[in-house]
Structure 1
Amino acid sequence: MSMNNKQRWMGGVVLLGGGVLLTALLLKGNDEIAHDKTQATITHPIPKKEAQSQTAQSNQNGEMVSLQPLAVDVETEKRLLEEQRRSREKAVAEQEARAADFLKMQQEAEAAAARKAAEEYAAINARRTAEQESSDNIPPELGEDDKAKAQRLAEEKKKAEQQKVDQQKTDTEKKLVEDKRKADAEKKLAEEKRKAETEKKAEEEKRKAEADKKAADEKRKAEAEKKATEEKRKAEADKKAAEEKRKTEADKKAADEKKHKAEADKKAEAGKARELMENGDKKWMVQVALAANQANADAVVSKLRAKGYKVTTSPTSKGVRIMVGPSKDRDVADAARKKITSDESLNMKSAWVIDWVPLDQR
């Protein structure tokens, strides 16, 4: 087997082994992620409606997106989100560690292959040097001709170029593997970031919905309390108005009754007095004045008594009646009237004689 074929064979074995190992690591990582999702689904069952929504989102984006149900308690939800984040970071770290181990193994295999190729190349050069030294001792006619030598040199040059191409191919494949690993890592980080933003947005929407609901409940409660207060105030006002109306009506009724009773008493008193005056024993009095109040009446009474007159007062609806007498004879009463009206000091020109019945005889 030539050196070129050996190197190709070893490079193919290394690439095949690396691909198998990388596939196994990726499959194992996917199995672990699926197991974590299954465990999370068992721990927190997803309702049928949410499961349909997750299926629809998976079909639209072309990839599986696991949406966990929101916890009722905000603190519990935060704790679950933190645990999920730590689990994802741990899975990513383990995946990156496995990829780093694989890359290290691949580099070691490539280094071993390069070292073995160098050793074989050194052995070939040593063999060629020995053959060259041995060829110097043989006769010229036994040495290789120019055509064979040129062919050998062409083959060696071709092998060197092929080795260079193979090395470039190996470097290119290695770079592609590294770029792919880096792209996968960046894609996974972007997916994790998008998922975290989605969960954060869902949490914000839930918190906002709860705040709106709480505000609506408080507003409805305040309106109900306000309405109850208004109704209570209105009922109290109606009750108070009814009480005042009833009290006003009662006062009015009592006043009317009192007025009617006073009018009836007054009418009865007047009738009784008139009856006594018309049918009883009559006495004559000289009415000298009608005072507006008791004080004026007392002043007039004092002046008359100072003159030696017998004075009697009687309250009426128009004032206090001031009278001199009584006399059983009208002529005597009329003489007293003339005397009083002629007295300039008394100034009572309008005195007149009336027939009068005492109150105890009415």
Structure 2
Amino acid sequence: MNNKQRWMGGVVLLGGGVLLAALLLKGKEEIHQNNIKHPELVEQVQQKNAKSDSGMVQLQGLTVDVETEKRLLEEQRRAREKAVAEQEARAAEFLAMQQQAEADAARKAAEEYAALNAARTGAQQSSDNIPPELVEDEKAKQKRLAEEKLTAQKKLDQQKAQQQSEADKKLSAENLKAEALRKADQERKAREKAAEEKKLREVEAQRKLEAQRKADQERQATAKAAEEKKLREAEAKHKEDAKKKAEADKARDLLENGDKQWMVQVALAANAANADSVISKLKAKGYKVVQSPTSKGIRIMVGPAKSRDVADVTRKKITTDASLNMKSAWVIDWVPLDRR
């Protein structure tokens, strides 16, 4: 009986070992398939492992398309999670199969033990009369199964820890790569922004320079126009002065060399009313009166006389007439306006 139970336990252990070996072979086959499908990942891992011995980590070349790189990283993460989930499912299936095999073996042993007790006759064949070696074998079996279960659990935990460690390392490398990509993108944007700002500054400087040039041109044109206006005004004034000088010279020539008439100037009225008053007095005495406007007032004269002596006699007559009250008369040689 004991040999039979030992044989059954050996069969169970052998079946569990076969299942474990099958799982390991299947895992290696999947790893090999993943290596074939994703050679670039294998190369990355090999480069990382080769350079980790020297304490140096080299980042791969930056991908130009950031979105494509993110998408690839996301697909790799999903594939890694799927592989871990499948491995955990296979490990759980293996444990369930091992527990089921143990339960079947225990159930079969119990059935055989019950049949053995039933075959025994007499009161001495009670359930307490289990052979000591059978009890001892059962305890050893339970202990061995517990140890094997603990060992399998430890191996599973180690595999999970190793897979998690590898996943963390790979995620760290991917994060470093993503960070490098982000920094490179930021630097590129900063360079583009600096170039744009430089271009704007150059455009603004060119605009200011153009505005300054136009302002200088307008200022020069204004100064030139003012200079030309000043020249025209000076020329016009020169012509006017020349004209006035010519007229003065002509008048002086007429006075000095022309047909002169001797007049007695009796007053210089400030306005027309005063002039009319003086003229009325003189005409009342029978004098011929001539008035001539000047820049200082209205010149009132008596005459003309044919000679200076005749004019002087008239002057004395006017100055001695108390009713006229014109004691400041004097003789002048005068040329009428129509003869000037």
The two structures have a TM-score, normalised by structure 2, of 0.72
Quote the Cα distance in structure 1 between the aligned partners of 2:339 and 2:152.
150
Preserved CA contact (<8 Å) 1:4 1:162: no
Quote the Cα distance in structure 2 between the aligned partners of 1:118 and 1:258.
140
- Alpha-carbon offset, residue 257 of structure 1: 1.6
Match for residue 241 of structure 2 among 245, 263, 276: 263
Quote the Cα distance in structure 2 between the aligned partners of 1:297 and 1:185.
127
Task: Encode CA deviations 1:154-211: one digit per residue, 9 max, x unaligned.
Answer: 7556634532332122121221133134424543664575466446535643553354
1:100 maps to 2:71: no
Match for residue 18 of structure 1 among 17, 20, 31: 20
Quote the Cα distance in structure 1 between the aligned partners of 2:156 and 2:174.
27
1:298 maps to 2:287: no
Quote the Cα distance in structure 2 between the aligned partners of 1:68 and 1:37.
19
Report the CA distance shift for 1:361/1:94 in structure 2 as closer, same or farther (over 3 A). same
Q: How many residues align?
A: 323
Quote the Cα distance in structure 1 between the aligned partners of 2:311 and 2:245.
29
Task: Encode CA deviations 1:317-359: one digit per residue, 9 max, x unaligned.
Answer: xx34614143322234334444555678877654422112233
Q: Which amino acid aligns with 1:223?
A: R
Quote the Cα distance in structure 1 between the aligned partners of 2:11 and 2:310.
178
Unaligned runs of 5+ in 2: 125-130
Match of 1:322, SS? strand
Match of 2:127 in 1: none
Report the CA distance shift for 1:65/1:278 in structure 2 as closer, same or farther (over 3 A). closer
Q: Which amino acid aligns with 1:303?
A: S
- Alpha-carbon offset, residue 266 of structure 1: 2.7
Map 1:142-181; keep pairs closer than 5 Å. Answer: 156=134, 159-181=137-159
Report the CA distance shift for 1:345/1:166 in structure 2 as closer, same or farther (over 3 A). farther
Unaligned runs of 5+ in 1: 41-50, 137-152
Map 1:1-362; keep pairs closer than 5 Å. Answer: 3-4=5-6, 7-8=9-10, 10-25=12-27, 27-29=29-31, 31-32=33-34, 35-36=37-38, 38=40, 59-60=51-52, 69-71=63-65, 77=67, 81-82=70-71, 84-85=73-74, 88-116=77-105, 119-120=108-109, 123=112, 156=134, 159-184=137-162, 186-187=164-165, 190-191=168-169, 194=172, 197-198=175-176, 201-202=179-180, 204-206=182-184, 208-289=186-267, 296-307=270-281, 308=283, 310-315=289-294, 319-320=296-297, 322-324=299-301, 325-338=303-316, 349-362=327-340
Task: Encode CA deviations 1:52-111: one digit per residue, 9 max, x unaligned.
Answer: 9x9579834899988872427xxxx2x763575256325523541343134213421442
Preserved CA contact (<8 Å) 1:287 1:352: yes
Match of 2:63, SS? coil
Match of 1:149 in 2: none
Q: Which amino acid aligns with 1:104?
A: E
Report the CA distance shift for 1:2/1:252 in structure 2 as closer, same or farther (over 3 A). same
**Which is further off, 109-118 or 322-331?**
109-118
Q: Which amino acid aligns with 1:92?
A: E
Report the CA distance shift for 1:81/1:290 in structure 2 as closer, same or farther (over 3 A). farther
Preserved CA contact (<8 Å) 2:261 2:306: yes
Match of 1:105, SS? helix
The two structures have a TM-score, normalised by structure 1, of 0.68
Q: Which amino acid aligns with 2:82?
A: A
Preserved CA contact (<8 Å) 2:262 2:305: yes
Report the CA distance shift for 1:210/1:267 in structure 2 as closer, same or farther (over 3 A). same
Match of 2:65, SS? coil
Match of 2:128 in 1: none
Report the CA distance shift for 1:330/1:64 in structure 2 as closer, same or farther (over 3 A). closer
Report the CA distance shift for 1:259/1:113 in structure 2 as closer, same or farther (over 3 A). same
Report the CA distance shift for 1:101/1:359 in structure 2 as closer, same or farther (over 3 A). same
Report the CA distance shift for 1:223/1:116 in structure 2 as closer, same or farther (over 3 A). same
What is the root-mean-square deviation in Å for CA atoms of aligned residues?
4.4
Preserved CA contact (<8 Å) 1:282 1:328: no
Quote the Cα distance in structure 2 between the aligned partners of 1:188 and 1:119.
44
Q: Which amino acid aligns with 2:187?
A: A
- Alpha-carbon offset, residue 284 of structure 1: 1.4
Quote the Cα distance in structure 2 between the aligned partners of 1:206 and 1:237.
46
